Amino acid sequence: MSALKILPNIYSVGVVDWQVRNFHGHTYTTQRGSSYNAYLIIDEKIALIDTAAGPFTQELIDNIKEIIPPEKIDYIIANHVETDHSGALPAIMRLCPKAKVLGTAKCQEGLYKHYYEKWDFQVVKTNDQLKLGQRTLNFIEAPMIHWPDSMFTYCPQDQLLMSNDAFGQHFATSERFDDQVDQCALMDEAKKYYANILWPLSAVILKKIQEIQELNLPIKIIAPSHGVIWRKDPAGIINAYLAWAKEETENKVIVVYETMWGSTEKMARKIVEGLIAAGTEVELYDVAQSDRTEIINQMLSAKGFIFGSSTHDNDMLPNIAAFLEIVKGLKPKGRQVGFFGSYGWAGGAVKEMQEMLKDSGLAQTIPAVSFKYVPDAAELDSCLEFGTKFGQSLK
C-alpha cells in the first residue's frame, strides 16, 4: 500500500495487514485483516501521526519516503502506546534523531516501558497546541479510550480528527475511505471493534463524545488508526458510538451454550422456540464451534443473553467458561440474563455460570432451568416456557 494524499499536504502513510487473523493475543479474531494507519502532515514543520506495528516498519518508511526523506520529520505524535501503533517508532527515531515525540504523560511512561529509549519527548495535555505553520495540531486527552495514555489529535484547519483506536475497524481494504467500501461490512467491523474492545469503557466514551460535542469542534473527517477514514458521514459513526455507549438494545436475545452429548443443545433449541413464540429475535450459538468475537458483536445490540452448559466435573464446560470470562470483563449494562443446562448427578454448571456473572450487572429475573441427563417431553416444554417467559420479560 503506497502513500495516499487524503487532504492537501496530508498523506495516509500507514500499512494494510491483510493476513492478521488474531488480535490482542487470541482474544479477537480479525477475519477481514486490519490496517495500521499513520498520517504525515507536510507544513513548515513536518509531523507524523502514529506509526505502525513493528513487522511493518519498512513498509511505513517506504511510504514516508514517497513523500519526504524521513529525516525531515520534526514531530512524531504518539496518540497511543500500544505496539500496533508504536512498534515502528524506535526505527523511525533512528532515522530522524532530531524529531521530537509528543504524547500524554502516560504515553511517555508507557513508551519508555516498551522500548527503554530516552527520546526527546514533549508531554501534551488537552487544549495544548502545536503550530506546524499553516496548520495547528490540538491535543485532546482520551484516557481509557482505550488505554490510560490514549489521546486524539485534531487539526482545526482541515476539521480533521485523528482519533487513534476510537472509531477504528479491523478491516483490511485497498480503499482508504468509508464511501469506497461495502457499508454493511464497514459497520459490522466498526461495531465488532466497539463490542469487543470498547464496550466496558462505554461510560468514558459517552463522556468524551459529549465533551467533544461541547467544544463545538467541526469534524469533517475522522481518521482512525485502524481501517478506513470516515469522510462521507463522520457524524454517522459518532452517533453509532453514542448509541452503543448508551447501551441501546433491540428486542433480541443471544443464546450461547456448550454441550457434550446434545442434551443441553436440545434444551437450547426449545428455549429458542419459546423466545420466537414471544416475538423475540434470537441468535443461537454453540460456543465451542463459533467465533467468540462475532458472538460478542451480536450481543452488543441484544437485550438479553441466555447461557447454557452441561455439568462437567462439577463445573460448566471449558469453552463456555472462557466465553463467560470475556462477558464478565465487558461489564454489559441493562441486560437480562438466563441460564440452563443438563447434568448427571449433583450438577454444578448452572450455579457456576451464575456465580461467574453475579457481579457483572446483568439481571436474572427468570429462574434457571436444569434437567437430569436427556430432557423428556415435559422438561422440554419447561424449556419452551422458560424461553417464552424470558422473551416476554424483555417487553
375 binds ligand FMN (CB under 6 A): no
Task: Give the residue with the Cβ less far from ligand FMN, 209 or 322.
Answer: 322
Q: Closest Cα to residue 339, out of 356, 319, 325, 314? A: 356
Task: Give the residue with the Cβ less far from ligand FMN, 163 or 319.
Answer: 319
* Rounded Cα gap, residues 330 and 196, in angstroms: 8
In degrees rounded to 5, what are phi and psi of residue 255?
-105, 125
Task: Give the residue with the Cβ less far from ligand FMN, 110 or 341.
Answer: 341
| Least gap, CB of 346 to ligand FMN (angstroms) | 5
Task: Give the residue with the Cβ less far from ligand FMN, 114 or 312.
Answer: 312
Joined grid coordinates for residue 107 = 504515553
User: What is the torsional sign of CA 16, 18, 22, 25?
Assistant: negative
| Least gap, CB of 342 to ligand FMN (angstroms) | 4
373 binds ligand FMN (CB under 6 A): yes
Q: Which of 116, 345, 359, 378 binds ligand FMN (CB under 6 A)?
A: 345
Task: Give the residue with the Cβ less far from ligand FMN, 274 or 348.
Answer: 348
| Least gap, CB of 260 to ligand FMN (angstroms) | 3
195-232 b/e (C-beta count within 10 Å ≥ 16 → b): bbbbbebbebbbebbeebeeeeeebebbbbbbbbbbbe
The one-letter amino acid code at 3 reads A
User: What is the torsional sign of CA 277, 280, 283, 285?
Assistant: negative
| Least gap, CB of 376 to ligand FMN (angstroms) | 12
Considering only the stretches 31-39, 94-102, 279-287, 304-312, report the one whose residues sit in contact with ligand FMN under the rule CB under 6 A: 304-312
**Helices in 37-88 by DSSP H: which ranges?**
57-65, 83-86
| Least gap, CB of 178 to ligand FMN (angstroms) | 44
343 binds ligand FMN (CB under 6 A): yes
Q: Which of 133, 344, 361, 367 binds ligand FMN (CB under 6 A)?
A: 344
Q: Closest Cα to residue 320, out of 347, 294, 356, 346? A: 356
| Least gap, CB of 308 to ligand FMN (angstroms) | 8
Task: Give the residue with the Cβ less far from ligand FMN, 28 or 257.
Answer: 257
Task: Give the residue with the Cβ less far from ligand FMN, 18 or 261.
Answer: 261
| Least gap, CB of 271 to ligand FMN (angstroms) | 13
Site for ligand FMN in 308-337 (CB under 6 A): 310-314
Let me know the angle formed at the C-alpha of 29 by 24 and 34, rounded to the nearest 5 degrees. Answer: 80
Site for ligand FMN in 259-278 (CB under 6 A): 259-264
Residues 6+ apart with CB under 8 A from 265: 257, 259, 286
Distance of CA 92 to the CA centre of its chain: 27
Enzyme catalytic residues: 24, 80, 82, 84, 146, 165, 193, 226
Q: Which of 188, 347, 354, 393 binds ligand FMN (CB under 6 A)?
A: 347
- DSSP 8-state secondary structure symbol assigned to residue 125: -
User: How many CA atoms within 13 Å lie on the side-chain side of 245?
Assistant: 20
**Helices in 171-253 by DSSP H: which ranges?**
183-193, 202-214, 234-245
Considering only the stretches 68-76, 295-303, 307-315, 351-359, report the one whose residues sit in contact with ligand FMN under the rule CB under 6 A: 307-315
169 touches 193 (CB < 8 A): yes
The one-letter amino acid code at 364 reads Q
Name residue, grid cell 446483568: 362
**Which positions from 91 to 130 touch ligand FMN by CB under 6 A, shown as an x/- string?**
----------------------------------------
The one-letter amino acid code at 178 reads D
**Which positions from 221 to 260 touch ligand FMN by CB under 6 A, shown as an x/- string?**
--------------------------------------xx
107 touches 130 (CB < 8 A): no
User: Where along the sequence are the contacts to ligand FMN (CB under 6 A)?
Assistant: 259-264, 310-314, 342-348, 373
